[in-house]
Amino acid sequence: MLTIKQITENTEAVIRGLEKKHFKNAKETIDQVIALNDKRRTTQNQLDKNLAEVNSLSRTIGQLMKEGKKEEAESARARVAELKEGNKELDAVMTQAATEMQNVLYTIPNVPYDSVPEGVGAEDNVVEKMGGMETELPKDALPHWELAKKYDLIDFDLGVKITGAGFPVYKGKGAQLQRALINFFLDEARKSGYTEIMPPTVVNAASGYGTGQLPDKEGQMYHCEVDDLYLIPTAEVPVTNIYRDVILEEKQLPIMNCAYTQCFRREAGSYGKDVRGLNRLHEFSKVELVRIDKPEHSKQSHQEMLDHVEGLLQKLELPYRILRLCGGDMSFTAALCFDFEVYSEAQKRWLEVSSVSNFDTYQANRLKCRYRNADKKTELCHTLNGSALALPRIVAALLENNQTPEGIRIPKVLVPYCGFDMID
């Protein structure tokens, strides 16, 4: 959430940034926030004056009574009563203005950095880098959903029977490959200095608001209505919320956490998109990186996270590319985001496997996540997160890009985790 200070001190820049993200009615919304803030401040000032007058009059009433000035004392009492009654109304007006302002602020996305390209959608993203090994497949190469059936790795129909579409059942070496990837990703994160967290996979509404999934992504989340809890769409939500309402010491930063969780997304609005196989699921496994950092160090943290994810793809021997997302394709909460995609040779398409984002102070302001600097003053932290990695499309690419006439080859780095070097 943007701070009032950010909005009032850089109003035009904020509006330009929101327009870069194609946020509708940016100027009108910011004007509404400013008007509500002015109303809140004006009312607060009047309330403060009234309270000061009440305190002053209250001190004089006793003195007036001692001096026998009963009529003046009664007049002062009447004035105090009048002020207190008026203060109730002022307090109600101030509370309503503050609440309305907060609700409007929740609907405003983060302002992108200047380095974010202009653009409306995915076609306007900028390719920053391409890497990995080129793949040559047999002429009769199969997509992963057919490979999964051929080698009895994943049963999509069984998932439909048990739950519904988008909830696959992994079997045998398919399940082992999933577990191998999870352990590999977690081990690599620990080697890079991340502390492993095992958080809950359901969160309360306060956690959803803290990281910005609510109210923006409410329709994408599974809601347990009886208990008002949400299944997490990513480990970013519970792990970042560890630091909600926390003041950290500067020496603790950067905080580096990683977590493996199951993730749940309703994928509302995905009709018409490629949903075959593992391309788009409602439940999937993911290892997430989360950092809490000082503002002046967050750029370096972001780069270190990008390097980490790229290293994983290189070790998995997959062809990949890194995209700098344009304003129109960025998430609600991100100030700067890079996507990693792997190439599926059998599908002839790029598959997104990670987004690595810097949120600046946007989440921290919602979370009230602060740190105490060297001058003992509290400042908002920067928060960052990235998938390292999301498993479904990694599995899809591994199966498709490593198929041979003899079977599916396992990348060398995964063999110790799998216990086999070939799926046949």
Residues 332 and 110: beta-carbon distance below 8 Å = yes
- Burial grade of 149 (CB within 10 A; 0-12, 13-18, 19 or more): middle
Please give the distance of CA 216 from its chain centroid, rounded to a whole number: 11
Is 190 annotated to bind a ligand? Reply is: no
Residue 210 to residue 190: CA distance in whole angstroms:
26
Q: Write the CA distances from 233 to 72, 206, 214, 221, 267, integer angstroms.
A: 66, 15, 11, 7, 10
Q: Where are the alpha helices (DSSP H) in 67-165?
A: 70-106, 144-150, 156-162
SS (H, E, C) 185-215: HHHHHHHCCCEEECCCCEEEHHHHHHHCCCC
Residue 384 to residue 293: CA distance in whole angstroms:
8
- DSSP letter string over 45-88? HHHHHHHHHHHHHHHHHHHHHHTT-HHHHHHHHHHHHHHHHHHH
Is 192 annotated to bind a ligand? Reply is: no
Is 53 annotated to bind a ligand? Reply is: no
SS3 state at 313 = helix
Residues 198 and 235: beta-carbon distance below 8 Å = no
Q: Write the CA distances from 255 to 9, 58, 195, 196, 378, integer angstroms.
A: 30, 51, 9, 12, 17
Is 267 annotated to bind a ligand? Reply is: yes
SS3 state at 409 = strand
Is 288 annotated to bind a ligand? Reply is: yes
Is 385 annotated to bind a ligand? Reply is: yes
Q: Radius of gyration of the chain from Cα atoms?
A: 27
Give me the torsion for CA of 342, 344, 349, 353, rounded to 10°: -30
Count helices and strands (H / E) in the chain.
Answer: 13, 19
Is 211 annotated to bind a ligand? Reply is: no
Is 179 annotated to bind a ligand? Reply is: no
Is 234 annotated to bind a ligand? Reply is: yes
Q: Write the CA distances from 221 to 214, 240, 280, integer angstroms.
A: 9, 17, 15
Q: Which residue type does 138 have?
A: P
Tokens of 296: 């002046």
Is 33 annotated to bind a ligand? Reply is: no
Query: Where is the binding site for L-serine, in residues?
Result: 234, 265, 288, 385
Query: Where is the binding site, in residues?
Result: 234, 265-267, 288, 352-355, 385
Query: Where is the binding site for ATP, in residues?
Result: 265-267, 352-355
